[in-house]
Structure 1
Amino acid sequence: MTTRPDLRDGLPLGRRLRVVAVHAHPDDETLATGVALASHAAAGDEVHVITCTLGEEGEVIPPELVHLEGTGDLGPHRVGEVRAATAVLGARHHWLGGDPPRWRDSGMAGSPAAAHPRAFASADVGEAAGVLADLLEELRPDLVLTYDPHGGYGHPDHVQTHRVTVAAVARLPREQRPRLYMVLTPRSWAEEDREWLRAHVPEGVRSPAGGVARVPAPDDPFPPSVVDDGIVTHAVVDLAARDRQAAALREHPTQVTVHDGWYTLSNDIAARLPGREGYALLEVQES
């Protein structure tokens, strides 16, 4: 296995870092960067999460909460979920543009929510980047974590979060500019995870909504965030942080069902909790 440096590599030893993760919706902070956030918090670093929307368009899994889906009550409910999850991770939580956030969940590509006047995916990038830059200037992070240009799996709000975060970091004075990392998974890890799932996910496991968990087939396509191993420059590997990540995911019951070492979303596709995350350092161009 290739050994990659961690996110602290090259920074002064013994100094308490400030780490900020920027995400589109509640639960993304734990799904995409939960290992890094929990690991840095446990090491004594100051950890922050900035969420851009309330996640109003999320699909709800548990039958007892499904009445929230598609209503004005889901967003406020998810406020409580993200507060609880970030507390488990050891992170402080912020909304982009105030509380509640200025923008709202745009839904999946082509959904009616994309036409909402406050849809984040269609927000002016410069305006949103200015709001984020002001918050980053206040927090003074050493490290900023967010999605790759494809938003992990193509969700319009994730793609927009990448754009806005890159633009915001570029606005900061050079002497204040943090390292910017995007979340990526080495292909070899993704293949190992599928093998693990085939060996560990029992047949017939049902979600609270009654669906049956499905393990991806070996030839199923990977999301765009799975890349050639050489593209991934850094990694966080921490099995103790995995346990905290799983505990934090349990605070997002509308969106995630946690099993023994793996989880499912509303699509019932099994995904592993391997206790490791890959990142690539992103060079920020002058704004």
Structure 2
Amino acid sequence: MTADPANLLFVHAHPDDETLTAGLTMARAVRDGHRAHVLTCTLGEEGEVIPPALQHLDAAHDDTLGPYRLGELSAAMAVLGVSHEVLGAAADGSALSRYRDSGMAGTPSAAHPDAFVNADVSEAAGLVADVIRRVRPEVVVTYDEHGGYLHPDHVQTHRVTCAAVASLPPADRPRLYAVLVPESWAREDREWLAEHPVEGSGWALPDPDGAYPPSVVPDHLVTHEVVSPELVPVQAAALREHATQVTVAPSGDTYALSNDVAARIPGREGFALLDPATGGLATVDATASGRHTDLLERDR
């Protein structure tokens, strides 16, 4: 890696997505002297709230979860040492975001006129392109074409980010990556969880034979990785700031979302190059080199 710092931009759908999927990478980037910036497309207004004392914030009650989650995002990014902004937020503070969380697939919230899933892709891509031109990242990270696990806002974030990068002159386009998990890592994580239950949590374990989400792919499709287990405590500390959405075990190596299913904080994150013109994975096979390449290496 060269001595010059790199700029990295992480484009995500809701507060907490960035820390769950790429918190380790951001922590590593900052530790190594690089600059990381997070662009969040909605405030996550439709999220389920875990702490009973805060459930009045949700969309079915006070509908004030969005601003609260923005505060959580700010605190988490301070832990990671990362700057952040919300897509389409007004500079004078009169609007905290341009788009609203669409909720899960098939829910009535997707019919809201400001729901991100209904956004005009060209308009939203133009806003993302403006951020890219201002931040000037060498690397942009977002979701794969399935949005990781088929959440409509994640799919829309992928679509909009690809369109934004593709709209730039070829010489100005940053490298674009999707967050992915190699199948071997996913298997190892399930085995690890079975061997390290969180006593007294009431959390279920993932089915060892259950299907994986679309973001889990054959190992050879993952072209880049970041492996830094020593930074798991930093990622865990950032996740704890997203308390409405995430519960982190006292051990700091396991967490659960509102579904109360245990998940590992594994100290490694995988990525693959995307073709912004098609939205699909670029035609690169990691087996050609026999190993994955570190995402933060500059000379590749």
Q: Calculate the TM-score normalised by the size of structure 1.
A: 0.91
For residue 18 of structure 1, report the CA deviation from its aligned partner. 0.2
Who is 2:288 aligned against? none
Work out whether 1:162 is the aligned partner of 2:151: no
Q: Provide structure 1 residue ranges, at least 5 long, that are not aligned to the other structure.
A: 1-11, 207-211
Is this contact kept in 2: 1:36–1:241, CA < 8 A? no
Instruction: Work out the CA distance in 2 between the residues paired with 1:186 and 1:115.
Output: 35
For residue 286 of structure 1, report the CA deviation from its aligned partner. 8.7
Work out whether 1:15 is the aligned partner of 2:4: yes
Instruction: Work out the CA distance in 1 between the residues paired with 2:197 and 2:11.
Output: 31
Is this contact kept in 2: 1:24–1:157, CA < 8 A? yes
Q: Residue 40 of structure 1: which of 29, 32, 35 is its match?
A: 29
Is this contact kept in 2: 1:148–1:225, CA < 8 A? yes
Alignment of 1:108-147 (within 5 A): 108-147=104-143
For residue 22 of structure 1, report the CA deviation from its aligned partner. 0.2
Counterpart of 1:58 in 2: which secondary structure?
A: coil
Who is 1:279 aligned against? 271
Who is 1:64 aligned against? 53
Q: Provide structure 2 residue ranges, at least 5 long, that are not aligned to the other structure.
A: 91-95, 280-300
Counterpart of 2:102 in 1: which secondary structure?
A: coil
Instruction: Work out the CA distance in 2 between the residues paired with 1:284 and 1:67.
Output: 40
Task: Note closer, same or farther for the CA distance 1:230–1:22 as it changes in structure 2 (3 Å cut).
Answer: same
Q: Residue 234 of structure 2: which of 244, 247, 259 is its match?
A: 244
Instruction: Work out the CA distance in 1 between the residues paired with 2:213 and 2:175.
Output: 25
Who is 1:9 aligned against? none
Q: Calculate the TM-score normalised by the size of structure 2.
A: 0.88
User: Match for 1:130: what amino acid?
Assistant: G
Displacement over 6 Å in runs of 4+: none
User: Match for 1:172: what amino acid?
Assistant: L
Counterpart of 1:126 in 2: which secondary structure?
A: helix
Counterpart of 1:32 in 2: which secondary structure?
A: helix
Q: Residue 96 of structure 1: which of 77, 87, 92 is its match?
A: 87
Is this contact kept in 2: 1:32–1:183, CA < 8 A? yes
User: Match for 1:187: what amino acid?
Assistant: E
Aligned length, in residue pairs: 270
Who is 1:263 aligned against? 255
Identity over aligned residues, as a percent? 59
Who is 1:25 aligned against? 14
Work out whether 1:181 is the aligned partner of 2:187: no
